[in-house]
Structure 1
C-alpha cells in the first residue's frame, strides 16, 4: 500500500526508470476524469470479518490481488471499522461496500487504485473541462540538487482550483497559466517551492529535500534504522552539513551541530588542535570509522557521508568501550547512477582569534622597576633607572632597543589550502567510490618553515556477484607530515616567544652573531622558531586500512543474511628530532665588543622514535529482517567479533655530534648513546545480539546484548556482560490522534543500557619486573662490565575488572505543520561504578611495594538535551534552522579518601557526595586602595599582622570570622574548566541560487584562571599603580605579597562565551555553457570560522577555549577566512 506522505512506503529517487514511469501514470490520473472499473471486475477476493478498519481491508485486497493503493493520508480517513463477509466477489464490489457512507471515491488503472475525496474529484473534473482556458503556456524542468529529473512532480497555479500538471519521465512540464500568476511545485519528500511566472516562458526548478518528511535512514550500532523506528537517543548530521565551510578537522566542524556533544579546541596548531570531544560531559567517547575504532583527526570531512552519535542505551551494543558514548562516522560509498565527478578546492587564511599583546621594552622595564621598588628593595639596586626607561620608550639608541618580536616572528595570516577530487557512481551490479584529498596548513611563525600536510586516499567497491552473493572492498590511505620545530610548538615555543624580551635587538652589525634575548633560557624565540637555525621535529606517518566483506542472502528464507568481514589496519610513523647548538651573544655598541651569553644546547642531538601498530578485526554475523502481515517488522542480529592488537616502538638517541651539518645517527658519538624498544599485545573477543521489533509501525522494542572479553583482565573476571532495552511509542499513529491535523509525529522513548570501560593498563593483574638501565639507576658494574638490573613493578591485583556504567534515558520527539516546527527532548541519568583507584591504608615503611589499583570509586551524571528546529519555504526563500542546548553535571557517589575529622577539611576536601567539578579558593574583595584601609583591617590577612600588605594587594574576606585568613576561609568559588551548558544555533537560508549558512556556539557553566604574564601589554595597562588606584584593576601591584597569587575570585573568571563559529555565503552557477563542458554546476563560496567571540576573557586577550591559567602560553586558536568552489561534472 502506498501512502503519499510516507515516502518509505512510496517511491524515492533511486527507483528504476520503469517504476518511475508507472508512478507518473498513476499521478496523472488525478488530472483526468477516468472510469476504469472494468479491471476491478476481473479480480475477486474473499474476506470475512466482523470488524476491521478500512485500511486493514485494503491490506487484505493487496495481499490477495497484487493491487496497489495510492492515496494522501492527510485527506482520507481509513480508520473507520467496517463489517464485511464476501466470497469470490469483485474488488469493485468490495470497494463500493467499504466506502459506502464515506466521502472516499476511487479510480483504477491496471493494478493501481487511487483514492480521493469527492471534492477532489470535482476539482479535477473542473480542471479537465477548463483545459486550455488560460492565457499562455510555460515550459520547464524540475530536478533535485544532484541534477536528476524528478518524475511526477506536481505543478499547479497557486490559488486555482485544480489548474495544474505533472512532470514527465524527463522531469519536463508544460502548463497554461494566467498572466502574473505564481506556480507551486511540489513532490513527496521535497520542500514545496513557489515561483512567480512574470514574463518568463521557461523555468529550471531545483527542489530541495525535506529532511523532516523523508524517512531518513540513520546509522546505528552494526547496521542502520529508519529514524522513525529508533527508540534510543541518537543524533546525526549529514556530511554535506559539515563541509559548508572548509575545515581541516572534523571535530572543528561538529561544534554546535548536535545536542549533547561538547567540542572544545584548546589549540590552533596545524595538525594538532588538541580537540576535546565529550558526549553529555562524559570522558572521551569511542570513535568508530566505518565500524571500527579510528582517529577522527585523520578523516577528511569531504569523504564523510554521515555522523551518528549514540548517547544512551543505543551505545551499549558496543559494550566495553561505549561507556562514554559512541561517535559513528560513515564514509561515502558508490550509488546507482551515472558517474559523478566532484572537485572541491579552497584557499584559507588563518589568523589569531584572541591573544595578549607583547609589551614594549619601555613598558617592560617600567614594570620590572616597579616590582623591585614596590617589594621594598632600595632604589640603588633597581634594574633600570628612569633615564634608561626613557631611552627604551624612545627606541632610538641601539643600546636600548624596542624590538617588535611579534612583527618579526608572527604573521597575521598563515595560508592553508585544501583540495579534493571524488568520483561516485554505479549500476545494479557494481557501485564504486573514489576520493583523493590534500591539505596543507602553515604555521604562524615566519621563520619556522613549519607546516602540517595530509594526503587522504579512499576507494570502495560494492559488487553483486550473484542474486544472493555480494562483496565489498574498502581501501584507505592517510599520509601525514608534521614539520615542526625542535621545541614543542604548542606550549614550549610560545613560552619562548613570551619570554623573548623587546629590550634586545634582533640583529647585530656582525650577521654571524645571534643576539641573546632571554627567551626563558633558550636565547629567544628568534632562535627556537627557526628550524634552519635550531633544528626540527619532523614526523612522517602512514595509516593503511583494508576492509573486505562478503554477504550472502539465503534463498530459502527471505530476509536472512550471513556476513563476514575482515578489517586490517596498519599504522607506522617515523619521528626525527634534531637539535642544533646555537651560541648567542650580547653586544656593547660603545665598546664594539661581543660577549658570549650562552648557547641553545651544548651540542647537536638526534633522536628517533619509530612506532608501528597493527590491528586486525574479524567479524561474522547472521541477520534476519522481515515484515509479516505488514504490521510485524522484525530485525534480529547475532555477531561474533575478535580483535587483535600488536604494537612496537623503537627509540634511539645520540648526541655530541662533531658537526650539525650531518643530521644522521652515524655522525653522533657512541658515548652516552641510548636506545630502547617495547612490544605490546592485546586482544578482545565479543558476542553481540540485537532484536528490534516494530508493531503496526507504532510500538517499538529494541533490545541488545553484548558479552566482551578483554585480555587486560584475568580469566576469572575477563568477561563483561552489557544488556540494553529501548522502548518507543509513536503516539501520532494512534487513531485517537488523527484529529490533530497539524501534528506530523509524536514519539515517546524510554531506554536502559549497561556498558563498560577497560581503560586500564595492559595486564595490570600480573606481577612483574621492569628492566632498568644505567640512566634509570638500575645497573651495576661487575668487574669491568655494566649489567642491567630488574626492578619489581609493584603489587598486582588479580581481581581488577571492568568499570560498569548504567544509563537511563527518557525522550520525546515531535514534529508539527509538515516540519515547520520539530524537535526533541531527552533527560538522562548515568551511574558509573568500579573506577580504578588506590586504597588509602597505612603500611609499614618496610613494606617495600606500592598498592595496586582497585575498582573503588563511583560517579553519577545527570542532564538533559533540547533541540528545536524549523524547515520551510516562502516563495523563493527556503530555510532550515536548528537550535540545541544541553546540560550535564557529575557527582562523586564514592571517592576513596581520608576520613576527615576536621569540619573545614571535610567541607573543602571531601569529594564523596559532591559535584566533581567544584573549585575552592578565597573570596576577594578587590584590592586595597589605601594604607588606612590596611591599618583598619579587623583581621590578620598575611599572618604577620598585615605588615607585608600594601595598597594594591588583594583583599581577602574572613569567611569564618576567626580574625585570621587561612585555608579555613576557602569556599566553593567556581566550577571546572569543562562547560556544563552547551548550545548551538545553525540557520541555513537559500534564495534562488544563493545560500547562506551560519553557525553559533555557546558554552556556559565553567571557569578559567585569567593569568597574564608581566611581559604583556594587557598586564602593563591593567595593573594597579598609585596613579591607577582602582580597587577592581585586573592586576594587583607589581612586586606585591605572595598571597596575591592564591586562587581566589580575583583570578577566577567565568569562561562563558558565545562564538560566531562559522558562516558561508555561496552562489551556484548553472548555465547552458557549463553543460557543453559536461559541468552540471559550480558552487562558489566565501566562508569563515571563529569569526567573533563574546566573552569576559576578551579584556585579558584570552580565548575561552584555551587552556586555563596558561596566560597565552599556547598556540592560539585560529580565525579562518576562505574562498573556494565546488565543481560537479
Structure 2
C-alpha cells in the first residue's frame, strides 16, 4: 500500500514538472483574463478547470509573453488578481486566493527625527490600528493589498499601499498647520490661509486644559477680541459670559443651530471659531454682535477608539472677605455709635463686654465664626466622560456620554449641580455622491439649591454677613434653632439648609436633532445640493418650597428659651413648567470649480427658515397644612396665584455668497443676506445685509514666494452689515393684554375680582431693523516656517436704529406713552494684536503666544433733552461721549483735623461744614462756586467692562511630559469698593482716631452722609492679571501599554484661577466680581484637579 502511494505522488510530480517545461507565447492588449488563460492552457496542451463566477469582476489585461514556461506565464497573468492555481495531471485548476494577514513594521519620522504618537490604521476597513512608540516604531497586522494611513495632528495624512511589503518606513510632511488648518466659517469651512475676514479659532485640546464646568470660562484669554467675564462661582449658574469686541452678547451656533455653549461639555467639542467682522454678516439679523461657531467631534475611518476622561476637582474661593470675630463686630458697632456723635453711655457694648467677646469663655458672650460653621474650604467636583469614535469609508460615528457634578462650599446645605450629556454624530455615504449626517444630543441639568438665592441678588451670602458672631451656633437643646439676626431671616444657618427652610430645585433638558443630505451632482463637476433640518426641544421644571422655621434666644444663666421670631409664617410652594422649541430648515446649492489652474470660483445659495415657540405656566399656593407634604394639593386655595406665557416668532432668509480666487493670491468674497422678521410690519419686515472682503496673499508674489524668511504674509480688508430685531413681539400692532385678577386691569363684580383686559399702548407701525455696519483691516504673518507668527486687526462699527422713546410729552389725559422708535446711534472702534512662536525640535515642542485687544464705544446720537445749564450739559449729554463714563465727585482723601475742616474755603455739607469731622471724605469744588453739590460731579473713571483684554498662552512638551498654562488679564475698568461691615478687611482698613489715616478705605463710621457719595475715593481700578489655568501631564509609552491593550494613557494635574494680581487683593475682593456688593455673592472659584485620559 505504501509503495502505491509513493508511485502516485511521484507520477503527479512528474506530470507537474513536465507541464512546467511546456513553452507558451502570448501578446495581447485589453484581453479578457479568461481568454488569456484559455490560450495559455491550449498552447501547453492542458485542460483549464474553474468556476465561471471567478471571472465576474475580473478586469481586462494586457500581456506580452515571449517563449515562457507555463508556470511563469500563469504567475504573470494572475499578478494582482484574487486567484491562485495548481497544475495536476495536465489540468490547470483555478481557485479563489485565500486572504492571509501578515505583520508590517517600520519607523515613522519627520524632518527632525522619529515621531511617537502617530496613529496607523487601515483605510476603508474596520480593522486594527496602532500608535507609534517613543522610537517612532510600529507593528500592525494587515491583509493583502491593504492601504495604511498614517495620521498626526499638524501633518498631512500619508497613505501607503502595502502590497506584499513587510517593512515600511514613512516620512511625515508638516501641513504648516496654521496655514493649512481648516477653520469653520459661516455655512462652511475654509483653509486659514484663504480667510478674508477676522476669524479666530481654538481647538479641542486647548479647551480641555482648564478644569472648569463652562465652555465660556475655558475660552477666557485664548482669543484676541473675546471678552470673557465670570460674575460669580455658583455651580450651575456662574453667569460666565462672552462678548466679542465689546459689541454685546454674540450669536452661538452649535453644529449650525442655535444653542447654549455652557450646556455642553468641552470634551465633545472639536473646535470653536469666532467671527468678528464681515465674516459674521452672512448670518444677518442674528450676527450684529459677532458669531461663535462650535463644532462637535465626528467619526473617523478606522477601528473604534474608546476614550475615557476622568477628572476630580477641589473647588475653593479665589478671594472672599474674611469674617471678623465677635470682638471686632462689637468694636465696630461701638465706634460707629460714638463717632456718629451719640453718647458713649448708650453705646451697644462696653469695653468690658467687648473683651469678653474676644476671650470667648463666657457663654453669654459667644464668639462664633459662622464661616467656619457653615462653609468648607474646598468643595468636590467630578467630570467623567466616555466616548467612542470610528467607522469606515461608508459610515463614521462618534458617541459621547458625559457626567458632571459640582457641590457647593456650603457644607451643610445639600446643594449641588449635575449635568448629563449624551451625543451621537453619524456620517454615512448612502450612494455614490450622496452623503448624510444624523446628529442627536441631549443634556439633562439638575440643580438643587436652598430656597434663598445663592448667586448675586437677595442671597444667602448677604444672610451670612448679617449672621452675627455674637450669637451661638447651637443650644443645649438641639431642637431649638439659634437666632442670629441674618437680616431678619434668623441667620444663614437657617436659610442655607435645604432640609430646614426649604429648597429651590430645577430640572432642565434640551434635545437636539440635526439631519442633512448632501448630493454631489454627477453631470456637473463641482455642483452640489444640501438640505438640512434641525429640531430643538427644551423642557424645564422649577420647584420652590419654603418651610417656616422658628428661632430662639437662650439665657444661659436662667436656662430659659424665648421665641425670637420665625423664618416665614407658613409653608408655600411655587411650581413652574416651561417648554421651548426651535425648528430650523435650510436648503443649499453650492458650485465650486477651478478654471485653467488660475481661477477658483465658489458660489453658494441658501434658503433658511427658523421658527421659535415657548410657553410656561406657574402656580403658587401657601398656608400648607403641614410642611411635611411639599405637593401643591396640600396648599390652601385661598390666595393662590397662577400665570402663563406663550410666545411664537419666526424668521425667513435668503443668502448668497461668492468666493473668487485668482492665482491663489487674490481672494474676494461677497455676501448678501435678506432677512424677514415677524417682529416688524410687512412694509419694513425685510432687511438686506451685504458684505464684502478681500485678501491679498503677498507671500505668493514672485518677490516673496521662495523666501526663506516669510512663509506667509496676507493683507485683509472687509466691510459687512447686519441687523438686529431684538425687540418685543408685535410692537407694531395695537391690541390688548389679559391682566391677572390680582393686578391692574382687573375688576370686581359683586364680591369677586375678575381678570380684565388692558391696552398694549401705542403701536409703532414704522418699527424696523436696527442696523450695524463694521469695517475691518488686518494682516497675518508667519515667518521662518512658523517659528514666529502673528496678526493685527483694526475695526470700526456703526450701530444705528437703536430703540428709544421720544422725549416729547403728551397730556396725562392721553392715557398712554409714546412707543419706542429706531432713534439712537453708537459707534465702536478697536484693535487686536497677536504674536506667537512655535517649533518642534527633536524631543522638545513649544507653542507660545500672546494676544491683546482694545475696544471702546461712543454715542453718536442719544435721544435726550436740550440742556441749557453748562453743568447739566457736561454731566448728562451723551451724544458724542463715551458710553462707559462714570460720573462722581473728585476727592482729596479724608479730613485729618478740625483745623483742616475750619480752613476749607467752600461749603461741603451746605451747613457751613458743621457736620464734618476728621475721617470724613474731603471733596473738591470742581466749578469753584464755593459749594459742593451735584454740579461738582465730573468724569472719574470708566465703566465695569474692561477696555483692554490680554492673554498669554504657553504649551510645552518634552518627551513624554507636557505642560501648558494661560495668563489672562483685563485692564481699564473700575469697581466701586464695598466691604461687608464686619469683615477683617473692613476692620483693618477703616479710619480710626488712633490711626487717623488720610487714605483709609473706610471713612469715619457713623460719619457724614456724603461719605457714601460715588467718588474717585471709593472707585478702584479693577485691572488684573491671573493665572487662568495650568496643566501638567505625562503620557505613558505606547510600548509599555501595548501589552495591556491600551492605546494611550495620559495622567495630569491641573488648576484654574490659582494666582491673581490685582489692587483688589488687599481687600480680599475678586476683580471679576460685581461692583459695589463685595462679599455678598457666590465668590469665583479656583480649582485644583487630577485626572487621566485613557483610550483603547
Assess if the C-alpha contact under 8 Å between 1:145 and 1:206 holds in 2.
no
Following the alignment from structure 2 to structure 1, what is the Cα–Cα distance between the partners of residues 619 and 768?
36
Following the alignment from structure 1 to structure 2, what is the Cα–Cα distance between the partners of residues 500 and 927?
31
Match of 2:36 in 1: none
Match of 1:580 in 2: 547
Residues 1:1051 and 2:1018 aligned together: yes
Match of 1:763 in 2: 730
Match of 1:225 in 2: 190
Match of 1:671 in 2: 638
Match of 2:241 in 1: 276
Following the alignment from structure 1 to structure 2, what is the Cα–Cα distance between the partners of residues 1042 and 206?
77
Match of 2:803 among 832, 836, 850: 836
- How far 1:748 sits from its partner (Å)? 0.4
Assess if the C-alpha contact under 8 Å between 2:224 and 2:852 holds in 1.
yes
Query: Helix, strand or coil for the counterpart of 1:496?
Result: helix
- How far 1:906 sits from its partner (Å)? 0.3
Question: Following superposition of structure 1 onto structure 2, how do residues 426-441 of structure 1 map, counting pairs within 5 Å?
Answer: 426-441=391-406
Match of 1:116 in 2: none
Match of 1:368 in 2: 333
Question: Following superposition of structure 1 onto structure 2, how do residues 721-870 of structure 1 map, counting pairs within 5 Å?
Answer: 721-738=688-705, 740-870=707-837
Match of 1:566 in 2: 533
Following the alignment from structure 1 to structure 2, what is the Cα–Cα distance between the partners of residues 728 and 738?
16
Following the alignment from structure 2 to structure 1, what is the Cα–Cα distance between the partners of residues 745 and 359?
59
Tell me the TM-score normalised to structure 2 length. 0.85
- How far 1:166 sits from its partner (Å)? 12
Query: Helix, strand or coil for the counterpart of 1:520?
Result: helix
Assess if the C-alpha contact under 8 Å between 1:574 and 1:611 holds in 2.
yes
Query: Helix, strand or coil for the counterpart of 1:271?
Result: coil
Residues 1:498 and 2:469 aligned together: no
Residues 1:992 and 2:964 aligned together: no
Residues 1:965 and 2:954 aligned together: no
Q: 1:912 to 1:320 in 2, by over 3 A?
A: same
Match of 1:514 in 2: 481
Assess if the C-alpha contact under 8 Å between 2:643 and 2:740 holds in 1.
no
Match of 1:244 in 2: 209
- How far 1:171 sits from its partner (Å)? 13
Match of 2:28 in 1: none
Match of 1:1004 in 2: 971
Following the alignment from structure 2 to structure 1, what is the Cα–Cα distance between the partners of residues 865 and 566?
49
Following the alignment from structure 1 to structure 2, what is the Cα–Cα distance between the partners of residues 272 and 205?
50
Residues 1:148 and 2:119 aligned together: yes
Assess if the C-alpha contact under 8 Å between 1:144 and 1:208 holds in 2.
no
Unaligned runs of 5+ in 2: 1-104, 123-134, 143-149, 157-166
Residues 1:215 and 2:180 aligned together: yes
Following the alignment from structure 1 to structure 2, what is the Cα–Cα distance between the partners of residues 204 and 658?
81
Following the alignment from structure 1 to structure 2, what is the Cα–Cα distance between the partners of residues 767 and 376?
59
Following the alignment from structure 1 to structure 2, what is the Cα–Cα distance between the partners of residues 387 and 208?
82
Residues 1:544 and 2:515 aligned together: no
Which deviations, in whole Å up to 9, do the C-alpha atoms of 1:1048-1098 show, x marking residues without a partner?
111000011001111000000024342122211100000000011100011
Q: 1:254 to 1:211 in 2, by over 3 A?
A: farther
- How far 1:899 sits from its partner (Å)? 0.7
Question: Following superposition of structure 1 onto structure 2, how do residues 444-463 of structure 1 map, counting pairs within 5 Å?
Answer: 444-463=409-428
Match of 2:593 in 1: 626
Question: Following superposition of structure 1 onto structure 2, how do residues 298-313 of structure 1 map, counting pairs within 5 Å?
Answer: 298-313=263-278
Q: 1:207 to 1:1029 in 2, by over 3 A?
A: farther
Assess if the C-alpha contact under 8 Å between 1:1011 and 1:1111 holds in 2.
yes
Question: Following superposition of structure 1 onto structure 2, how do residues 65-214 of structure 1 map, counting pairs within 5 Å?
Answer: 140-142=107-109, 147-149=118-120, 190=155, 212=177
Unaligned runs of 5+ in 1: 1-137, 152-164, 173-184, 192-201
Query: Helix, strand or coil for the counterpart of 1:373?
Result: helix
Assess if the C-alpha contact under 8 Å between 1:334 and 1:461 holds in 2.
yes
Following the alignment from structure 2 to structure 1, what is the Cα–Cα distance between the partners of residues 216 and 151?
36
Assess if the C-alpha contact under 8 Å between 1:319 and 1:722 holds in 2.
yes
Residues 1:328 and 2:293 aligned together: yes
Assess if the C-alpha contact under 8 Å between 1:145 and 1:207 holds in 2.
no
- How far 1:303 sits from its partner (Å)? 0.3
Residues 1:1112 and 2:1079 aligned together: yes
Match of 1:1065 among 1015, 1032, 1035: 1032
Assess if the C-alpha contact under 8 Å between 2:178 and 2:192 holds in 1.
no
Assess if the C-alpha contact under 8 Å between 2:117 and 2:136 holds in 1.
no
- How far 1:245 sits from its partner (Å)? 2.8
Assess if the C-alpha contact under 8 Å between 1:141 and 1:149 holds in 2.
no
Residues 1:388 and 2:353 aligned together: yes
Residues 1:704 and 2:671 aligned together: yes
Assess if the C-alpha contact under 8 Å between 2:176 and 2:785 holds in 1.
no
Assess if the C-alpha contact under 8 Å between 1:213 and 1:818 holds in 2.
no
Match of 1:259 among 224, 230, 235: 224
Query: Helix, strand or coil for the counterpart of 1:320?
Result: helix
- How far 1:1046 sits from its partner (Å)? 0.5
Query: Helix, strand or coil for the counterpart of 1:755?
Result: strand
Match of 1:905 among 857, 872, 892: 872
Assess if the C-alpha contact under 8 Å between 2:435 and 2:518 holds in 1.
yes
Following the alignment from structure 2 to structure 1, what is the Cα–Cα distance between the partners of residues 108 and 241?
47
RMSD: 2.3
Question: Following superposition of structure 1 onto structure 2, how do residues 1022-1061 of structure 1 map, counting pairs within 5 Å?
Answer: 1022-1061=989-1028
Question: Following superposition of structure 1 onto structure 2, how do residues 18-33 of structure 1 map, counting pairs within 5 Å?
Answer: none
Residues 1:1020 and 2:991 aligned together: no
Q: 1:206 to 1:976 in 2, by over 3 A?
A: farther
Following the alignment from structure 2 to structure 1, what is the Cα–Cα distance between the partners of residues 1064 and 927?
31
- How far 1:802 sits from its partner (Å)? 0.9
Assess if the C-alpha contact under 8 Å between 2:920 and 2:1007 holds in 1.
yes
Query: Helix, strand or coil for the counterpart of 2:180?
Result: coil
Assess if the C-alpha contact under 8 Å between 1:147 and 1:1080 holds in 2.
no
Assess if the C-alpha contact under 8 Å between 1:440 and 1:454 holds in 2.
yes
Residues 1:1098 and 2:1069 aligned together: no
Question: Following superposition of structure 1 onto structure 2, how do residues 397-416 of structure 1 map, counting pairs within 5 Å?
Answer: 397-416=362-381
Query: Helix, strand or coil for the counterpart of 1:735?
Result: coil
Assess if the C-alpha contact under 8 Å between 2:120 and 2:151 holds in 1.
no
Question: Following superposition of structure 1 onto structure 2, how do residues 881-900 of structure 1 map, counting pairs within 5 Å?
Answer: 881-900=848-867
Following the alignment from structure 1 to structure 2, what is the Cα–Cα distance between the partners of residues 688 and 189?
34
**Higher Cα Rg: structure 1 or 2?**
2
- How far 1:379 sits from its partner (Å)? 1.8
Match of 2:30 in 1: none
Match of 2:22 in 1: none
Question: Following superposition of structure 1 onto structure 2, how do residues 898-977 of structure 1 map, counting pairs within 5 Å?
Answer: 898-977=865-944
Which deviations, in whole Å up to 9, do the C-alpha atoms of 1:873-909 show, x marking residues without a partner?
3342110011100000000000001111100100011
- How far 1:275 sits from its partner (Å)? 1.0
- How far 1:509 sits from its partner (Å)? 1.2
Which deviations, in whole Å up to 9, do the C-alpha atoms of 1:852-892 show, x marking residues without a partner?
11001000000000010110133421100111000000000
Following the alignment from structure 1 to structure 2, what is the Cα–Cα distance between the partners of residues 186 and 709?
46
Following the alignment from structure 2 to structure 1, what is the Cα–Cα distance between the partners of residues 787 and 984?
51
Following the alignment from structure 1 to structure 2, what is the Cα–Cα distance between the partners of residues 329 and 479?
19
Assess if the C-alpha contact under 8 Å between 1:141 and 1:171 holds in 2.
no
Q: 1:584 to 1:923 in 2, by over 3 A?
A: same
Match of 2:304 in 1: 339
Which deviations, in whole Å up to 9, do the C-alpha atoms of 1:967-988 show, x marking residues without a partner?
1111111000000000000010
Match of 1:464 in 2: 429
Following the alignment from structure 2 to structure 1, what is the Cα–Cα distance between the partners of residues 855 and 525?
45
- How far 1:189 sits from its partner (Å)? 5.1
Q: 1:250 to 1:413 in 2, by over 3 A?
A: same
Corresponding pairs, count: 958
- How far 1:737 sits from its partner (Å)? 2.1
Assess if the C-alpha contact under 8 Å between 2:898 and 2:918 holds in 1.
yes
- How far 1:624 sits from its partner (Å)? 0.9
- How far 1:167 sits from its partner (Å)? 9.2
Match of 1:162 in 2: none
